[in-house]
Amino acid sequence: MSAASLQVTNPDEVRNVVLIGNAGSGKTSLFEQLLKARIAGYRGEKEDAERAAQLYVASVENRGTLTNLLDAPGHPDFGGELRAGIRAADAAIFVISAADGIDGAATALWEECAAANLPRIIALTKLDAGHADFDGSVAATQAAFGEGVLPTHVPTLSAPGVVSGNIGLLSLEEHDYSGSDVVNRKLAADDDQVEAYRGPLIEAIIQEAEDDSLMDRYLSGEELDTEYLLDDLMKAVATANLFPVVPVASNTGVGVEELLRLIAHGFPTPSLHPNPAVSAPGGGELPVPGTDPSAPLVAQVIRTTTDPFAGRLSMVRIFSGTLRAEDTVHVSGHGARSGDHDSDERIGQIQAAAGVELKPRTSAIAGEIVMVPKLATAETGDTLSSKDRPAVVGRWTLPDPLLPLAIRAATRNDEDKLSGALNRLVVEDTTVRLDRGGNDQLVLWTTGQAHADLLLARLVDRYGVKVEQEELKIPLRETFVGKATAMGRHVKQSGGHGQYAVCNIEVEPLERGAGFEFVDKVVGGAVPRQFIPSVEKGIRNQLDKGVFAGYPMVDIRVTLFDGKAHSVDSSDMAFQLAGSLAIKEAANPKVVALLEPIDLVTVTVGEEYLGPAMTDLSGRRAQLLGSDSEGHKAIIRALVPQVELSRYAIDLRGVAHGSGTFSREFHGYELLPANLAEKFARATS
C-alpha cells in the first residue's frame, strides 16, 4: 500500500468505519484523535456549522489497512447525512458520553444502526467529568441496548476523575497514556474491576464461538489464547451480536490505539459486509453484487456537494468492480427528486482521501470510497454501473422534511438567482423539499431549525442570494354552511353595444370533499341555452378566487333557476360577470364559513413520553384516534389542523427529549373555529 495515496489492490485491505453519536458526545473530538494518531503533524480541522452538518471522510493507513473514517453529524436535523454514512460504511464506532448518559436521541441513533444491522464498537467518552462513572455508564448502556454490550477495556486513573489509560480485559495489558508515548505493560496484580468484567466477557465470546469445547476448557481453568478469543470476539462483532465498550478520553487520546487495533483486527472488510440489493433499470432483480474488483461496476453516490465555481463533487462508494478515470459509466437515478433518469457519463477524474487531503487516482476498486468531480447528471443516491450491465442500487430511506419555511427573495436581483440556487440545494441535500402551494408561496421544507438555518446560510455564503422569511400561509377554503339565494345583474348602456345579463341562483352546502356542483333549472328560456355555460364559468372563476376572505370556495351546489337576457346586448362575457356577481351576492357571514386543512398525524415516542405527547396534541386541537405500543415505543394517531403543525417538528423533540418522530398526510377539510375564522378573515381584508 502506498503511503502517499493509500492505494489498495484487495478489498480485504479496506475498512470503512462511520463514527456515530449525539451532538456533544465527543464524537468529532475522537475522530480528530484517530487522525492525529495516524497522520504525522496533523493539527485538526476547524469546526464550523458546515463541518458539523455533513458527512466527512478521511483515510489513514492503519496496521496494513486503508481505513476510511467517516464522521456523521450527530444533530437529529441531519439524519440524511447519518443514513448516507451508514450506507457507505461496513461498521461503526458508536460514541456515548458518560457525562450525559443515554437519552432519547442516543437511542434513536442506535436504532438507526440496528435497522441496518451495522456492527458497532462503543466508545465511552467524558469519563473525566465530575459526575461520570464507568460502571454506572456500562450498566445504563446495557439496560438501553441489551446484554450484548460488554466492556473489552476498563479505564485506569492517575488521580480521581483523571483517565490516564486502560486495561485490556483479554490481554490483561495496561495501556498507559500519561506520557508522551503509550506504554504497554502486563497487569501486575489482580484488579477488582477487571475481575468483574473479564469473566462475563469471555463467557459471552465462548457462547458466540463455533468451538463447542471452549466452555469446558475455560471452566476447567485453562487460560485461553488471547488472539483466539479476540478473533471470536470480532466475529461476533461483525454479525452485530456483541458490542465491545472501550473507554476513551478524546482530549488525551486514551483508547485511540485500542480502537484502531480493533478496527484493523476484526471490523468486517467490504467482502464480509453484505452489499445492498440491486435491480435492472427497467425493473427486475439482479444478483447482489459480490465485492470483486474484476466484476461489472456497481457504485452509488453517497453524498453530493456543490460549489458555485468548482461544480459538483460526488462521494462514491464502490460495491463491485473497478471505477477508472476516463471510463464511461451508466448513471441510473430512480426515485430521485428530479424524476427517473438514465444516461451515460464519462468519469473525468477520481480523487481519494489520503489523510484529510484529496489525491488524484487513476482507479479505485470495490470496497473503496472516493470522490468524483463534476458528474453532470448523478445525484445523491444515484447508481454508477457498467455500460453493458446497468444496475440500480436501492436508495436508503430519507427522513421526511417536516418543518416548513416560507421564503421570498429579498431583492429583484436575488429573485433572478434564487431558482438556480434552490435547485443546487436540492441536488446537494436530499432531505430538502421545495413546494409552491396553492397560496403561491415558496416553501422550503426542512428537517428542523438547525437545518433551516444552515440552508439559509448556504444561500447567502455559497450563492450570494438573500431571502426573507415570511409567515406560512395555511391553504384555507371557504364554503357555505346554509342555503342562500341571490341575483347577479350586469347591465351597462354606454352607447353602441351594451352589456346585459341577469341570473338568479340558489347556493347550498355539500358534504366535505364533494367539490362543486352546478345545476341548470332554467325554464322558458329565461337564460338562453348558449349562455348557461357562461354563468357556470363565471361562478367557477369567482370560486377559485374566493368570495368571502380570499380563499377558494369548495363543497357547494349552485342552482341556476332564473334570469333575463337581451336579444342584442347579452353576451358570453356579460353572463360570466353576472354569474360572478351572483355568487358574491349570495355570500354573507351568516351562511359562509372557513375550512381548515386537517392532517392525519402518526407520532412515535418513547413510552415514558406518551402522556406529555398526548397532552401536547390536545393543546393543538387534535382529535386523538388512539395509541398503540411497539417495543418500548408508543404510537399515537390523531387528526391535527395544519395550522397547529407548522413548528411541531421542533416542539416534539422538546416534549419527547429528542426521541419523538412523526409523519403526516393530508386527511381533509373541517370547519375552522369561529374565533380563528375572524382572525384569518381580518388578515385577508
The size of the chain, in residues, is 685
- pLDDT at position 328 is 96
pLDDT at 252: 84
Q: Rounded distance, CA 399 to CA 671, Å?
A: 31
Which of 308-312, 359-363, 561-565, 568-572 has the weakest average pLDDT?
308-312
Percent of the chain at pLDDT exceeding 90: 73
> For all residues of the chain together, what is the average pLDDT?
91
**By percentage, how much of the chain surpasses pLDDT 70?**
96
Give the range among 334-338, 343-347, 424-428, 605-609 with minimum mean pLDDT: 334-338
Q: Say what angle helices 192-208 and 226-238 make with each other, to 10 degrees.
A: 60
pLDDT digits (tens, 9 = 90+) for 129-178: 878 889 999 999 999 999 999 999 999 988 877 899 999 999 999 999 98
User: Tell me, which fold does domain 408-470 have in CATH?
Assistant: Alpha-Beta Plaits (3.30.70)
Do residues 506 and 559 touch, judged by C-beta distance below 8 A? Answer: yes
Lowest average pLDDT, out of 5-14, 500-509, 659-668, goes to 5-14
514-530 average pLDDT score: 95
Apex 349 CA angle, 343 and 352, nearest 5: 115
The answer to whether residue 581 scores a pLDDT higher than 60 is: yes
Tell whether the model's pLDDT for residue 685 goes beyond 50: no
Per-residue pLDDT at 189 exceeds 70: no
* Mean pLDDT of the 194-216 span: 88
Residue 165, judged by CB atoms within 10 A of its CB (0-12, 13-18, 19+), counts as: buried
pLDDT one-digit tens code per residue, 14-23: 999 999 999 8
How far apart (Å, rounded) are the C-alpha atoms in residues 278 and 401?
27
What's the farthest any 2 CA atoms get from each other in the chain?
Answer: 118
Statement: 477-590 belongs to CATH 3.30.230.10: yes
Lowest mean pLDDT among 131-135, 232-236, 336-340, 639-643: 336-340
Quote the pLDDT of residue 339: 57
- Where exactly does CATH 3.40.50.300 map onto the chain? 11-266
Give the per-residue pLDDT at 176: 92
What distance in Å separates the CA atoms of residue 287 and residue 267, rounded to the nearest whole number? Answer: 25
What does the pLDDT read at residue 282?
79
What does the pLDDT read at residue 74? 92
Q: In the chain, where does the domain assigned CATH 2.40.30.10 lie?
A: 278-283+290-393
pLDDT exceeds 60 at position 124: yes
CA neighbor of 239 nearest in space, from 273, 270, 205: 273
The secondary structure element, H or E, covering residue 101 is: none
pLDDT band at 47 (very low <50, low <70, confident <90, very high): confident
pLDDT tens track for 531-575: 999 999 999 999 999 998 889 999 999 999 999 999 889 999 999
Predicted confidence (pLDDT) at residue 3 exceeds the cutoff of 50 = no
Cα–Cα separations (whole angstroms), residue 356 to 5, 8, 60, 248, 500: 11, 17, 9, 22, 79
User: Which residues contact residue 115 at a Cβ distance below 8 angstroms, ignoring those fewer than 6 apart?
Assistant: none
- Give one DSSP letter per residue of 343-366, joined into a string: EEEE---EEEEEBTEEEEESEEET
Residues 669-682: tens digit of each pLDDT: 999 998 888 777 65
Mention every residue, 6+ apart, whose C-beta is less than 8 A from residue 614: 624, 627, 636
Report the pLDDT value the prediction gives residue 5, as an integer from 0 to 100: 54
Residues of the chain with CATH 3.30.70.870: 408-470
Instruction: Compute the average pLDDT of residues 213-222.
Output: 81
Pinpoint the residues of the chain covered by CATH 3.30.70.240: 595-684
What are the residue ranges of CATH 3.30.230.10 in the chain? 477-590
| Average pLDDT of span 637-656 | 96
Span of 1-5, 396-400, 488-492, 653-657 with lowest mean pLDDT: 1-5
Fold (CATH) for 278-283+290-393: Elongation Factor Tu (Ef-tu); domain 3 (2.40.30)
Residue 600 has pLDDT above 60, yes or no: yes
Per-residue pLDDT at 104: 84
Q: What is the pTM of this model?
A: 0.89
* Domain boundaries 11-266, corresponding CATH code: 3.40.50.300
CB 176 within 8 A of CB 185: yes
The CATH code belonging to domain 595-684 is: 3.30.70.240
